[in-house]
Amino acid sequence: MDRSTRRIQPVVTGIDAHLAGIEWNGEQAGFSNGAFLVRTDHEAPNYRLVAVDPNRPQPEHWRTVIPEQDDVFLGHTTIEDRYYVTYLRNISTKIRVFEKDGTPAGEIDVPEHFTASIRNAPGDNTAYLTLRSFTTPSTEYLINLETGDREISEPAKITFATDDYTVRQVWYTSKDGTQVPMHVVHRNDIELTGDHPTLLYGYGGFTSAMRPGFSTFAVVWLERGGVYAVANIRGGNEFGERWHRDGMLENKQNVFDDFIAAAEWLIDAGYTNPERLALRGGSNGGLLVAAALTQRPELYRAMLCAFPDLDMVRFYQFTETNNMPALLEYGDASDPEQFEFLRRHSPYQNVRRGTRYPAVMLTSGDLDTRVPPLQARKMTARLQWASRSGLPVILRYDAKSGHAAGRGRPMSLAIEDNAMELAFLIMQTGGGR
């Protein structure tokens, strides 16, 4: 066929579901001419692997290769004629092995509270296994798939005293009674005196799960004696599509309730207090921390809010960016019913003059095509006008940065950004040794 006559042909349309990890398989599940392998949550909130015949792509003709399980199916790779499937179980990675017909064939050992990935390696019965956690920098191993023996093939690029720190997973109760998990990381010798500088991080949206990972920003905070917490609030896919849908559109307030409950738990458990507690979030996470700020300002001392969505009432009018698909997640205020729930939680509309707001550092860039940067500018001005705490409200604005400023910028500027943000948090929470 001449290239000029080729066109993109949709394979599956008209279903309310995610389809991802699509690959072509020469022969699969009885399709002699081949099939697409697709990871989907259609009729499977925790996802399953299906084979799709391009000649009959309708869901009623799909054939399940690996059925839905209690754990969340994140992805798969083919090694040595077997499927190696990555699952998320209570925020820890599991890697299970399946024959091509979907028969279980074992599991790769992964430590608790770790994120893992696996890929092909040269040679027979070998693969590369990458592990990382909150206290373990990313490390690659060459693993023997028959014996399970492994040796480091690419050591971590960062030296860190992993054994000096504790990673603990806790479960706390949100406003509506939902049990929500959170990882809490700190030095081994910490005492619950209620006055530790504590940084709480979250995201809560767009099916993005907050899995264990090594953050140099968090490590500096930990080395100075701080507590670092990551809440696995609704809106992500930590527990599949149901967890996501419980945190989108009219259910978005659940996300903010989950995050606020995490802050309350850290205080009640004796880790910190409102004068030592700080929040950090970016993009959709910027919306998260700003909503927590406007709804419960007395709970926190400081907030880092990066590249944020803030004016949810006018969000549908911000046509200068490519973020219109986010209306499917947030809602569209041009719809009267959706306007009501957006107005109730939109941070910009809920800033109240005379309130004692925490110290705030907002970040944005003039070239952000994902989130309209005018939102950060407007929110800074409104908070400066409204707050009566006497604490600073700062806007860090870069005329040459886009969404998530670290991308495409020199390492020196990324280091400078982190240094300024850490200095701000340390000054406000009295943290550091």
- Clarify whether 401 is annotated catalytic: no
H-helix or E-strand containing 19?
strand 19-25
Check: CB of residue 310 under 8 Å from CB of residue 379: yes
Check: CB of residue 150 under 8 Å from CB of residue 130: no
- Clarify whether 283 is annotated catalytic: yes
Gap between the terminal Cα atoms of the chain: 68
Residue type, 107: E
How many CB atoms sit inside 10 A of residue 339's CB? 17
Q: Which two tokens stand for residue 387?
A: 């707050």
Beta pairing partners, 119: 128
DSSP 197-242: -EEEE----TT--------HHHHHHHHTT-EEEEE--BTBSTT-HH
DSSP 313-359: SSGGG-TTSS-GGGHHHH--TTSHHHHHHHHHH-TGGG--TT--PPE
Quick one: angle between helices 252-268 and 336-345, nearest 10?
20
Beta pairing partners, 86: 75, 95
| Residues 6 or more apart in contact with residue 8 via CB below 8 angstroms | none
Catalytic residue chosen out of the listed positions 92, 174, 283, 346: 283
Q: Which two tokens stand for residue 386?
A: 């409204």
Catalytic residue chosen out of the listed positions 113, 183, 186, 403: 403
Q: Phi, psi at residue 197, to the nearest 5°?
A: -55, 125
List, by residue number, the catalytic residues: 283, 403
